[in-house]
Structure 1
Amino acid sequence: MLILRRTLKRLATTFVTLLGAAVIVFFVIRVVPGNPIAMMLPPGASEADIDRLKSLYGLDKSIVEQFVIWIGGVVQGDFGNSISLRQPVLDLVLGRLPATLELSIMALVIAVFIGGVLALTGTRFRHSKVEAAIDVTNGVALSIPDFLWGLVLVLLFGVLVPIFHISGRISPSLDFDFLTSFYLFESVLRLRFDIWADIVSHMFMPAVALAIPLAAIIAQLLKQSLKETMHLDYVTLARTKGYAENHVITREALPNAILPTLTLVGVQFTFLIGGTVIIERLFSYEGLGNMAIDAVINRDLPLIQGIVILFALIFTGVNLIVDLAYAFLNPRLRHG
């Protein structure tokens, strides 16, 4: 019953958050200077042409009326049509979402692997120069934003030593008919590992650029949790029984120290998705973030609204899952 009440409470909070995001994005983007209709028409267009387009996109009504019409459509799954691309917003957003999700998941896997290795190594060689070097490395990784890491990777592995692709999602020369927009997963399921390798080659540098700051955060938190756990009684008992230090760390301390890190990873995953905007632009990656920048440049109001609502839905959904998972895994919260 406690978990059920917690779930209902989080669902109510999620609904309020989504409604707040919808209100903010709808009204704020209309305060920003710029006329999307004027950007669509050629110079010398008549007032009749302007009025016709305003009526087509509902911009001839008051802001409150526009919001009511738009939110009513969203509830029914209709996000309107893109002003610049002349296509349904929902189709455009869902078509680009898989690319961003694959990039974010790959970055998360890399971050968890690097952060976990650094934390375990720092714990194993605590109070030594190795731990000090790891702390310095974490500090450097956190002090440099992901887009600068992207530029560094482009210079190193795209220009000086051209190992990876620096733009796009897949090589145009490859002839392969995808059934879905999840290129990475579909290529594995269809056993086309040559296609998979090409996709990974395109994704690797943007994924690493996104992963480096998150890996440093994971390493810091997990190492601190491990150091606190290493002084507990059951860890001391394991040492007394003669277990090797590596066994004590990975089998005794890690399972109990990893819970706060798992919560952090879930929360940071939402920020990771938001961070793809600049990285996707930098690497010309055909994802949702790249589309968001184009929508802002073109003042494509329906497309901006659809992208923001989708991001908000992902953020709230992931946070809801993390919160419920933490309540389930933590006995003190599970039993009240």
Structure 2
Amino acid sequence: MLKYLLKKVIHLILVMLAVSILVFISIRVIPGDSAEVILRANGIEPTVEAIEGFREELGLNKSLLIQYVDWLTGVLQGDLGSSFITGRPVLEEILYRLPATLELAAGGVVVMLLLSFPIGILAAVFKNTINDHFGRVLALLGASVPPFWLGMMLIYWLGVKQSFFPVMGRGSLQHLILPAFTLGLGMAAAYSRLLRVSMLEVLKQDYIRVARAKGLHERVIILKHALRNALIPVVTAFGVSFGHLLGGTVIVETVFTWPGLGRFVVDAIFSRDYPVIQAYVLVMALVFVMVNFLVDLIYRFLDPRISFERGN
């Protein structure tokens, strides 16, 4: 186990280093002068003197290598830099907004679990029945509806017309329901189909026939024996697609005016706020890697035959 953890830490360091290099270079090769964009955003006439002075103030007149080394040195010391627009430390800005994004992502996952598990299990257990066909239709609808359109429809019908839920901002649990449902519906559609296929494969195995021959209750067979093994590919897919979940919060946060990292980084992209963009990508990459590490641990729980020492 210790060897496995050490290997994971090394992978984490290498991944974060590669991400830092890629994001640092990629945002600086975008056409246009960031100093000019930032000056205009602050209502300052971007004269040649003003642009040169601003570039020197921010260190943008240095070579890319020196800029990267300076930035990476600060990151290793816990300093992600300061926003070009607000002037506040980027770490403070991210820590202020990160809980809102994680709350929305967690809400989307809860909605996904509440919808995908019943639909996927019932569709597999009652294959080619009305339950299966109903699940397929729901999955198709969920996968076909764009999140921004679904969000606007929910705002109009359940927020404006019926006044059941608030449609803007973050506060009580009621504020979370519509954004979480918008984010979770598409995931529920995909994972319900994946769970159905996985359950059908597991239900064909010999140990399921043996369990039925022993007279075990069907509910015990489905929930204790079949579901546990069927979850392995579902957990794998979730670990891989977690980055898409975090990316999906950008759209949902914009539609519902949710004060998370998504809207914050969109504004930073348009205003060429390099430190904010770099820090956001690093934080999201770190969260993604940690989630995949957690997925590996869940494997061990779901299937004790998996050995970290042997790498299997």
- Compute the TM-score of the two structures, normalised by the length of structure 1: 0.84
Determine the structure 1 residue equivalent to 2:146.
145
| 1:30 maps to 2:28 | yes
Q: Distance in 2 between matches of 1:328 and 1:72?
A: 39
User: Alignment partner for residue 217 of structure 1, among 187, 190, 193?
Assistant: 190
| 1:325 maps to 2:301 | no
Q: Distance in 1 between matches of 2:63 and 2:250?
A: 31
| 1:307 maps to 2:308 | no
Q: Tell me the C-alpha RMSD between the 2 structures.
A: 2.1
| 1:282 maps to 2:255 | yes
Determine the structure 1 residue equivalent to 2:11.
13
Number of residue pairs matched by the alignment: 306
Post-superposition offset of 1:86: 1.2
Post-superposition offset of 1:115: 0.5
Post-superposition offset of 1:168: 0.8
Q: How far does the alpha carbon of each residue in 1:197-252 deviate from its partner, in whole angstroms, 9 at most, with x for none?
A: xx221111111111011112221122222212222233223333444433332233
| 1:100 maps to 2:101 | yes
Letter in 1 for 2:265: A
Q: Counterparts of 1:123-202 in structure 2 under 5 Å?
A: 123-170=124-171, 199-202=172-175
Conservation of the 8 A alpha-carbon contact between 1:142 and 1:213: yes
Q: Distance in 2 between matches of 1:207 and 1:323?
A: 26
Q: 1:325 to 1:61 in 2, by over 3 A?
A: same
Q: Distance in 1 between matches of 2:5 and 2:109?
A: 26
Determine the structure 2 residue equivalent to 1:73.
74
Structure 2 unaligned segments of length 5 or more: list them.
Answer: none
Conservation of the 8 A alpha-carbon contact between 1:7 and 1:324: no
Determine the structure 2 residue equivalent to 1:186.
none
Q: How far does the alpha carbon of each residue in 1:170-208 deviate from its partner, in whole angstroms, 9 at most, with x for none?
A: 3xxxxxxxxxxxxxxxxxxxxxxxxxxxx2211111111
Q: How far does the alpha carbon of each residue in 1:131-159 deviate from its partner, in whole angstroms, 9 at most, with x for none?
A: 02211221221233322322232232123
Report the 3-state secondary structure (helix = DSSP H, G, I; strand = E; otherwise coil) of the residue aligned with 2:235: helix
Letter in 2 for 1:155: Y
Q: 1:40 to 1:274 in 2, by over 3 A?
A: closer
Letter in 2 for 1:222: L
Q: Distance in 2 between matches of 1:157 and 1:36?
A: 42
Conservation of the 8 A alpha-carbon contact between 1:277 and 1:288: yes
Q: How far does the alpha carbon of each residue in 1:56-81 deviate from its partner, in whole angstroms, 9 at most, with x for none?
A: 21112112211111111111111111
Q: Distance in 1 between matches of 2:60 and 2:208?
A: 66
Post-superposition offset of 1:46: 5.2
Determine the structure 2 residue equivalent to 1:57.
58
Q: 1:45 to 1:130 in 2, by over 3 A?
A: closer
Report the 3-state secondary structure (helix = DSSP H, G, I; strand = E; otherwise coil) of the residue aligned with 1:30: coil
Q: How far does the alpha carbon of each residue in 1:17-58 deviate from its partner, in whole angstroms, 9 at most, with x for none?
A: 211111111111111123332234345455444333222211
Conservation of the 8 A alpha-carbon contact between 1:149 and 1:209: yes
Conservation of the 8 A alpha-carbon contact between 2:269 and 2:277: yes
Q: Distance in 1 between matches of 2:148 and 2:228?
A: 34
Q: 1:241 to 1:57 in 2, by over 3 A?
A: same
Determine the structure 1 residue equivalent to 2:271.
298
Identical-pair percentage: 36
Determine the structure 2 residue equivalent to 1:174.
none
User: Alignment partner for residue 206 of structure 2, among 227, 230, 233?
Assistant: 233
Q: Distance in 1 between matches of 2:231 and 2:278?
A: 37
Determine the structure 1 residue equivalent to 2:178.
205
Conservation of the 8 A alpha-carbon contact between 2:228 and 2:302: no
Q: Distance in 2 between matches of 1:5 and 1:126?
A: 44
Compare 109-118 and 243-252 and name the one that shifted more.
Answer: 243-252
Conservation of the 8 A alpha-carbon contact between 1:34 and 1:299: no
Letter in 2 for 1:274: G
- Compute the TM-score of the two structures, normalised by the length of structure 2: 0.90
Compare 36-45 and 203-212 and name the one that shifted more.
Answer: 36-45
Conservation of the 8 A alpha-carbon contact between 2:229 and 2:303: no
Q: Distance in 1 between matches of 2:271 and 2:91?
A: 18
Conservation of the 8 A alpha-carbon contact between 2:101 and 2:262: yes
Determine the structure 2 residue equivalent to 1:84.
85
| 1:316 maps to 2:289 | yes
